[in-house]
Amino acid sequence: MMVQYQALKREAGDCLLFYRMGDFFELFFDDAKTAAAVLDIALTSRGEHDGQPIPMCGVPVHAAENYLARLIKAGCRVAIAEQVETPEEAKKRGGSKALVARDIVRFVTAGTLTEEALLEPRRANVLAAVCEVRGTCGVAMCDISTGRMDLEECAAGELPAVLARIGATEVVAPEEWAARPGEAIPRPHGDFASDEGEARLKAVHGVATLDGFGSFTRAMLAAAGGLIAYLDHAGRGKLPLLLPPVAQDGTARLAMDAATRASLEVVEAQGGGRAGSLLAAVDRCVTGAGARQLAEDLAAPLTDRAVILDRLALVHWFHADPLLRADLRDVLRHLPDIGRALGRVVAGRGSPRDLGQLRDGLSEARRIRDHLEAKPDRPAMLEELLPKLGGHGALTDLLSQALVPSPPTERGQGGFIAEGYDAALDELRQVSGNARRAIAVLEAKYRDETGIAALKIRHNGVLGYFIEVPAKHADRLMAPDSGFTHRQTMAGAVRFNSLHLHEEASRIAEAGGHALAAEDAHFEELVGQVCAAREGIAATAAALARIDVAAGLAERAAEGGWCRPEIVEQACLEIEGGRHPVVEAALSRTGERFVANDCTLSPDDRLWLIGGPNMGGKSTFLRQNALIVLLAQAGAYVPAARARIGLVDRLFSRVGASDNLARGRSTFMVEMVETAAILAQATERSFVILDEVGRGTSTYDGLALAWAVVEAIHERNKCRCLFATHYHELVRLAETCDALSLHHVRAREWKGELVLLHELAEGPADRSYGLAVARLAGVPKEVVARAKSVLDRLEKGRAQTGGLAAGLGDLPLFAAAAEAEVEQCDELRERLQGLDVDALTPREALDLLYELKREAFT
């Protein structure tokens, strides 16, 4: 056995090998150690190898999916080695000691999952293949759970942004190049030949030319070849559902690099997970397919104004009719995920339940079409979608006739073909049913004949049918002329057989076996019918998802008072009462109100320099405007009172910073790399938000860099930009930059406390509130007092000599404590000055005295 295992393990490579042993998948050696640690199951041993015990662990076959899900989530890949013959066949082949033949039937990896239990319903599972052809990168991507396949070409420098957009769970690349995209799985270079890719696509879809699918570059075809070759390897020659490829034009989407996506937390929050992301704040879809489509829309907003307007018109149509929207969403909520059910069926992993889901989903889709067609003034996009919801009448009728109302998840036990569909099958079931009734009659007869009331006829998988009596009555059946044959003695019972029981059992087994074979044949027939209609079914699934997205966006707009944005070609951005959707949602849960702000950018006023204190709302303001642009170009309503948005070709966000130690980059290096990308790529149609450029280095360097960056954006890039900064010196740029205007977030100090108003106002900030924010954060008073003394000397030195550090040399280091006491006395004096003593009640006066005492000694 170990020889067979080792051979299969060499074939499995770096995958964990699930080696089928009866009702268990067993793992050995290092695989067992890894799996036991990840799954938290017992690590035992079995036999010896080179004089050492062989580590072993195992999982039950019936529960394998749950364990596979945990292994895949932990980053493992698994090879499934099944028994490809029965023990009886092995004995016929090689005698009683023959080893049952096994073979790897499938590789289970993160990007090749189709099982319902292994997939997240609201998240796409994208597999991507990348390669380079003559300096250009080809990207092939597919979600085999639904069959969708897209091909794209991009410049080598844009590949990270493309991979960030599609969010692939697994990436494959040529072995000599796999390290470049990150953690790609290396595959043979020959798999990525463009002519082989073209041939594979033709073979998959049974066509002589790809012209009917679109125009594909050599880089696209090379990537497609690598993708299909990997799927062929993972499925051991059986390919999953692959729909005709679609060539994607990279310029049709709003470009965002990986840093921008992370900064804006589009589909995933920076801490990981969906909660706190834009997607979580917007998603009101009631189907998994709709949620997946919405995530794709937000990850890849459009730049085609006509398509954006079509999406907005569909959202508006649902928004204008709340009753229609509510009824539709109620129907959609109960729809099965027919896209993924189709994927399992075509991949050969389908069940009778999947066929039932297709039947129910396609039937409901037809009813939805009929209902929506009865409504007037339908938008153009809906007119395109409605025909895709029908056209499956013959198939749904067939599935309705053939299947029981609630088909089981396993096909091996039968019971899923409806009565009346096949007369011969009904007859076999009747024979089997009659035989079971005959066994019940036989049991009653044997009880009467033997006088043993406890006699029972039982069944198990090893013995089949048998007669069982308590041990104390066994002697009556042991007599040679009793008509019973002894089979097995148990602790408290004895088991027998009889001629009549054997005959009835044979009838049941024969009829049951023929019935199962008949049902299995019908299952394959139905699968064949579904596979023949797979492209139409996939189109129906996509249409339902698009309708769910539009209805969900309309629901979100009605829920939050969002507006329909006006999309124009001019380079403008006019937002009245804009809000941050994620922050507003978080505040609403605590009962707080979000402070809305306006933003108006135009060719003559395209760069806003924004000052004000930390925590005043600068970063929120910057992000909310970027998110409003993103939502609008994804075809959604936006959180604002009014929005007029000029199409943006590229969106850049450099807000917040963190280091990247794994790549040897400090916080400031990351900041400069991201800033450099903006200056190199932003066009006049781009929208840029920048926060605190230059803060990661010395004051002089930081100010100089911030100054130069603002000038470059104004003079060279000429894009729409919101630039937040603490460098007050930058306000002088308004004197030389005609398209730059000054703004600030408002704040006030009242009775020694900083009040953040979160409102944007015109003009520069009156002063810095850094010390007030420090006090608000709980920095010790003596430290704040010391900082105030330093600040006073800095400002005096700058006024007198122009040097920021002038006058600091003679400042005593420990003067801060005394100064803190003076400041504390000043604060107390101001507080007492404004106190109306005569208006205090005795109780209030006593409470005030206790409060002053507590503050004085803490």
Same domain, 79 and 226: no
Same domain, 352 and 501: no
Kind and range of the H or E element at 821?
helix 815-833
Neighbours of 138 (CB within 10 A): 29
CATH code, domain with 198: 3.30.420.110
Please state the residue numbers annotated as binding site for ATP. Answer: 612-619
Please state the residue numbers annotated as binding site. Answer: 612-619
> 614 near 724, Cβ under 8 Å?
no
Number of residues written out for the chain: 858
Distance (Å, whole) CA 743 – CA 697: 24
Give the residues of the chain that fall short of pLDDT 70: 178-182, 615, 656-665, 748-757, 766-774, 776-777, 794-795, 797-827, 855-858
Same domain, 682 and 592: yes
CATH code, domain with 373: 1.10.1420.10
Same domain, 43 and 162: no
pLDDT for 778: 72
Residue 407, domain member (yes or no): no
> 725 near 655, Cβ under 8 Å?
no
CATH code, domain with 670: 3.40.50.300
Same domain, 542 and 608: no
Full domain range(s) for residue 243: 120-248
Domain end call among 82, 108, 134: 108
Same domain, 19 and 81: yes
Residue 230, domain member (yes or no): yes
Same domain, 600 and 718: yes
Neighbours of 472 (CB within 10 A): 12
Residue 368, domain member (yes or no): yes
Same domain, 595 and 542: no
pLDDT for 811: 46
In the DSSP assignment, the letter for residue 714 is: I
Same domain, 549 and 581: no
Say whether 607 sits in a helix, a strand or coil. strand
pLDDT for 712: 93
Residue 406, domain member (yes or no): no
Same domain, 125 and 140: yes
β partners of residue 748: 755
pLDDT for 819: 53
Say whether 47 sits in a helix, a strand or coil. strand
Residue-by-residue DSSP string for 519-584:
HHHHHHHHHHHHHHTHHHHHHHHHHHHHHHHHHHHHHHHHHHT-BPPEEESSS-EEEEEE--HHHH
Q: Which of 487, 484, 486, 512 is nearest to 500 (CA)?
A: 484
Domain end call among 736, 762, 788: 762
The pTM (predicted TM-score) of the whole model is 0.84
